[in-house]
Amino acid sequence: MNIIIVGCGKVGYALAEQLNDEGHEITIIDKNDAVIRTVTSTLDIIGVTGNGSSFRVQLEAGVDKADLLIAVTDKDEVNMLACLIAKKAGNCRTIARVRDPEYYEEINYIRDELGLSLSINPEWAAAYEIAKLIQVPSALELDSFAKGRVNLVKVKVPIDSVLDGIKLRDIPAKVGKDILVCIVERRHEVIIPDGSCVLQAGDAISIIMPLKNASQIYQKIGVSVKPIKNIMIAGGSTIAYYLAKILLNSKVRVKIIEKDSARCKQLSEILPKASIINGDATDKAVLLEEGIKKADAIASLTDLDEENILLSLYADKVSEAKIITKINKIAFEEVIGEMPVGSIICPKNLTAEQIIQYIRAKQNSFGSNVETMYKMVDNKVEALEFKVGAHSKVINIPLENLKLKDNLLLCCIFRNGTIKTPSGKDTIMPGDNVIVVTTHKGLKDIKDILREG
Amino acid sequence: MNYSIIVYILGWVMTFESAFMLLPCLTAFIYKEENGLIFLICAVVTAIVGRLMTIKKPANNMFYAKEGFVAVALSWIVLSIIGAVPFYASGEIPRPIDAIFEVVSGFTTTGASILSDIESMSRCMLLWRSFTHWIGGMGVLVFLLAILPMTGGQNIYLMRAESPGPSVGKLVPKMRKTAMVLYMIYTVLTLAEIIFLIVGKMPVFDAVCTAFGTAGTGGFGIKNDSISGYSSYIQIVVTIFMFLFGVNFNFYFFVLVKKFKDAFSMEEVKWYFILYIGSVVAITINITNNISNLGGNLKHAAFQTASIMTTTGFSTADFDSWPQFSRALLVVLMFIGACAGSTGGGMKVSRIILYVKYFKKEVSASLHSRSVKIIKSDDKVLEGSIIKATIGFLMAYIIVTIVSFLLVSLNNFDLETSFTAVVATLNNIGPGLSRVGPTCNFNLFSDFSKSVLIFDMLAGRLELFPILILFAPQTWRRG
């Protein structure tokens, strides 16, 4: 596809990088000439310097031939205007980042009136992601499929768990038949395991499970489940606001620590039920006074990555809480991955993921559609949900006769509301939703699970 | 420095060169010449070595400006050395340094020859000689980028190091497509010229060789008197195509995607056209005292100006015997050269435009010390870093010219000969004035001077820095 990206900030760059990897033709527009020069010499894309919401600049970037324009500058108004102009000038699909809560409340109206195909709000997406994790406290990561009925949950194998030292093949007999391990992360390795893989304590494993069996499975594998009743949020950013709003609705007590007193007043006005503390979240005394040791969950959401990491490390030391760390710029992921900072949330990647999922789904009008897509383990693994079309190459063939790619696992078939862990005798049928986990990137159709040739 | 990726690229360059050598093979087959065997052996050996070098894809394909420069410079050197082998092996050019001079002159699209009797060469050798122009015109690495699916965005560094001009951009987002578009325009224009020449009753072999020489703005003829012996029609066709190949290829791209407004408002193309027409008129008036026929003079002036300005180097008349003003004007045009993003050499019209603008800015700054003036090109503000780099290029250019001039002077020829020999090779033109004029050749120089001129040709074609960087110690230092 021909894609124009307006704004080359964190999200713009991440998008350009990942979409370029998927083989799309990218034109990026930014006001800053130096930024454009850097990005065009590291990625195989073309850059245009100028105001992305100007008609002339958009024409120069080839909006008349573009299939999609994504506006991700830091200003909502510019994004919306850029999309409006692109819609009129090029009649392409448009995606805008709209992050101001005020606009976001009326996003449906804006989307309809501006003809946006998709609007994204990284802060809201991050907050929603955190809220999901809070609801399943033991999960390090949680991705849902089939409209939330199936989850792919990442947990650490606890010491003394039945899973420690077990062969995957033996799990159904010894532990329970609903447990399918899809990804094993051991130190720096990522494995899409087969039956002979032996689990060890300390591995991070991703298990596919139906929502209703979740607590049962946790009990079996020895992961403690204690519902979260209160949360301490460091930093009163927009994410904190959205998160507090979601959690207050499900009766979790929320405490927000924010440095800026004006922001505190504002927060207390819009979140009357939350307790807002005006203080420095990096001050140990403040944290202890506000009961960091007793918190069920702690989310480090300040603007500084370094502060968030340190805060989470401290929280890990002094409390038993579930920890969530927001990191904007994941550099040095090798180091961060080893530190006990709990679940890592990266708004920029969430946004890129959402957009790529949209593009993959749109790209494929025949055969099978990508319904959901997640990039996991630092973009090394993709988990995809396909809606299987009526004429796909893979249907009505027993799975044992399909030549699947290596490092690919067909982990779940969702048919007429029932969830099935597939075995060799099962077949894929039209209308199924199939969930696949793989280290291959850029799968666009269910037939891509087959070995080429 | 990532050596494995450089080896990998060199391997591919060799593989492509061996493929290119099949064309002279075919020629030899058609004309039943035994020398074709030499090309065949050479192609097979090169292909095997090249294949061995590319058999293992480097695990680390990180690629930066440094690797880009070094890979390009080394590719051109390897290309030249291998390309010289058939000339030497067949004995048609008996001395290795001469063979290398001839081939470097071919690949860099210079067209300076050491041969005194061109017509005695076999046809496959003549074709190879002209074909090197065509290969070198658009660049081998650009060809490689069009064919090879190279991953990573860093391959822009390869194209930047090889393509002429102060700021090289892509036409379309994907590098590979850009390279393909460029080669497509190049091939279509070349084919058009071949057809026009054949329509003018030029023999097919001559037409193909002449078209290769024009397309790459090279200038190797296959006759001792270059183009003079052909009909007026053919001379006019060659004039027009020389001019066309000196135009920035972005122009053709804009025409292709029907952005006519953008195409015709390109500042560089406009000035290229004005400079060309102005020079033709000036030279016609200047030489009309000597020869009575105005039409003929106009034709010669148009041909010679196009030939020199686009740095091709064909000739229909001995411009060395023209009046001093015309000779001086031609030498000035040698420096200016063609458009950036074309196959021509020289400093490029776009740089000259920038220098004039900068000059005007500095003059006004010395009058009004508080004046603020932004330099624009095609309605876009030129950043300080581009201006700085372009002026840096001028410095390097002057220094290389002066040093080469001094070294070549050791041969003890007159000033005009030594100076224009350096200018004609550094700017990839071919013929100079006096003893290296259009009717003479470069065989009179010593081996040492020839080596200096070989260096100049390569440096000029790759716009100095890639070749200069090879000699900078910090390129090879660790870390």
Q: Which domain holds residue A322?
A: 230-345
CA distance A43 to chain B (A): 4
pLDDT of residue B336: 92
pLDDT of residue B55: 86
Give CB contacts under 8 A, 24+ apart, made by B236-240.
B236/B299, B237/B193, B237/B196, B237/B197, B237/B200, B238/B193, B238/B197, B238/B210, B238/B214, B238/B303, B238/B314, B239/B299, B239/B302, B239/B303, B239/B306, B239/B307
Residue A356 located in a structural domain: no
pLDDT of residue B166: 65
Identify whether residues A235 and A208 lie together within a single domain: no
CB contact under 8 A, B153 and A26: no
pLDDT tens, A139-182? 888 888 877 778 888 888 888 788 888 888 888 777 777 778 88
pLDDT: is A366 or A26 the higher one?
A26
Identify whether residues A328 and A268 lie together within a single domain: yes
Mean pLDDT across A185-196: 82
The residue in chain A having the minimum alpha-carbon distance to the alpha carbon of residue B254 is: A60
CB contact under 8 A, B153 and A27: no
Residue B18 pLDDT more than 90? Answer: yes
Identify whether residues A313 and A259 lie together within a single domain: yes
pLDDT of residue A380: 82
pLDDT of residue A366: 54
pLDDT of residue A72: 93
Interface with B, mutate which of A43, A46, A57, A64 (most B CBs under 10 A): A46
Q: What pLDDT band is residue B15 in, cutting at 50, 70 and 90?
A: very high
pLDDT: is A94 or A334 the higher one?
A94
Is the Cβ of B152 closer than 8 Å to some Cβ of chain A?
yes
CATH code (residue A416):
3.30.70.1450
Residue A420 located in a structural domain: yes
Q: What pLDDT band is residue A353 in, cutting at 50, 70 and 90?
A: confident
Identify whether residues A370 and A297 lie together within a single domain: no
Residues of B in contact with A40 (CB under 8 A): 153, 156, 170
CA distance B362 to chain A (A): 24
Domain count, chain A: 4
**Nearest beta carbon to residue A25 from set B153, B157, B174:** B174
Q: Interface pTM (ipTM) of the complex?
A: 0.78
Lowest mean pLDDT across A96-105, A221-230, B151-160, B217-226: B151-160
Q: What pLDDT band is residue A39 in, cutting at 50, 70 and 90?
A: confident
Is the Cβ of B66 closer than 8 Å to some Cβ of chain A?
no
Identify whether residues A335 and A410 lie together within a single domain: no
Of the three residues A58, A90, A120, the one that is the final residue of a domain is: A120
Q: What pLDDT band is residue B151 in, cutting at 50, 70 and 90?
A: low
Is the Cβ of B153 closer than 8 Å to some Cβ of chain A?
yes
Identify whether residues A26 and A85 lie together within a single domain: yes
Residues of A in contact with B156 (CB under 8 A): 40-41, 44
Identify whether residues A98 and A179 lie together within a single domain: no
**Nearest beta carbon to residue A44 from set B153, B169, B380:** B153
**Nearest beta carbon to residue A25 from set B65, B169, B173:** B173
Residues of A in contact with B170 (CB under 8 A): 40, 46
Distance CA A120, CA A110 (A): 12
pLDDT of residue A367: 56
Residues of B in contact with A67 (CB under 8 A): none
Distance CA B15, CA B8 (A): 11
Residues of A in contact with B153 (CB under 8 A): 20, 40-45
Residues of B in contact with A26 (CB under 8 A): 173
pLDDT of residue B167: 63
Contact B237, B193 (CB under 8 A): yes
Query: Which string of DSSP letters, residue by residue, matches B357-423?
Result: HHHHHHHHHHHSTT-----EETTEEPPHHHHHHHHHHHHHHHHHHHHHHHHHHTT---HHHHHHHHH
CB contact under 8 A, B153 and A43: yes
Residues 6 or more apart in contact with residue A195 via CB below 8 angstroms: A167, A168, A169
Of the three residues A221, A242, A264, the one that is the final residue of a domain is: A221
Interface with A, mutate which of B66, B148, B172 (most A CBs under 10 A): B172
pLDDT of residue B68: 83
CA distance A376 to chain B (A): 22
For residue B162, count CB atoms less than 10 angstroms from its CB and return exposed for 0-12, middle for 13-18, buried for 19 or more. Answer: buried
pLDDT of residue B150: 62
Distance CA B226, CA B131 (A): 16
pLDDT of residue B290: 60
Residue B424 pLDDT more than 90? Answer: yes
pLDDT of residue B149: 67
pLDDT tens, B162-180? 776 666 667 888 888 888 8
CA distance B184 to chain A (A): 20
The b/e string for B109-145 (b: 16+ C-beta within 10 A; e otherwise) is bbbbbbbeebeebbbbbbbbbbbbbbbbbbbbbbbbb
Distance CA B312, CA B300 (A): 15
Lowest mean pLDDT across A185-199, A237-251, B165-179: B165-179
How many Å from the N-terminal Cα to the C-terminal Cα in chain A?
A: 25
CATH code (residue A7):
3.40.50.720
Locate tokens 């220098």: which residue? B355
Of the three residues A221, A248, A279, the one that is the final residue of a domain is: A221
Q: State how far the alpha carbon of B403 is from the alpha carbons of A162, B399, B459, in Å.
A: 79, 6, 13
Identify whether residues A102 and A169 lie together within a single domain: no
Mean pLDDT across B74-93: 93
CB contact under 8 A, A44 and B175: yes
Identify whether residues A369 and A412 lie together within a single domain: yes
Average of per-residue pLDDT values in chain B: 89
Identify whether residues A204 and A239 lie together within a single domain: no
Q: What is the spatial order of strands in the sheet that A204-210 belongs to?
A: A141-145, A150-156, A204-210, A180-186, A189-191
CA distance B156 to chain A (A): 6
CB contact under 8 A, B170 and A46: yes
Distance CA B163, CA B153 (A): 17
Identify whether residues A303 and A324 lie together within a single domain: yes
pTM: 0.82
pLDDT of residue B148: 74
CA distance A56 to chain B (A): 12
pLDDT of residue A427: 87
Residue A350 located in a structural domain: no
CB contact under 8 A, A44 and B157: no
pLDDT of residue A1: 85
Residue A321 located in a structural domain: yes
pLDDT tens, B296-346? 889 999 999 999 999 998 988 888 888 999 999 999 999 999 998 888 888
Residue A453 pLDDT more than 70? Answer: no
CB contact under 8 A, A45 and B173: yes
Is the Cβ of B21 closer than 8 Å to some Cβ of chain A?
no
Lowest mean pLDDT across A211-225, B127-141, B195-209, B403-417: A211-225
Residue A37 pLDDT more than 80? Answer: yes
The residue in chain A having the minimum alpha-carbon distance to the alpha carbon of residue B157 is: A41
Residue A328 located in a structural domain: yes
Residue A4 pLDDT more than 90? Answer: yes
Q: State how far the alpha carbon of B116 is from the alpha carbons of B224, B437, B442, in Å.
A: 8, 13, 9
Q: What pLDDT band is residue A432 in, cutting at 50, 70 and 90?
A: confident
Residue A249 located in a structural domain: yes
Q: What pLDDT band is residue A445 in, cutting at 50, 70 and 90?
A: confident
Identify whether residues A281 and A338 lie together within a single domain: yes
Residue A352 located in a structural domain: no
pLDDT tens, A268-324? 999 999 999 999 888 888 888 888 888 899 999 998 988 999 999 999 999 888 899
Mean pLDDT across A245-271: 92
Percent of chain A at pLDDT > 70 equals 98
Q: What pLDDT band is residue A376 in, cutting at 50, 70 and 90?
A: confident
**Nearest beta carbon to residue B156 from set A25, A40, A49:** A40
Residue A388 located in a structural domain: yes
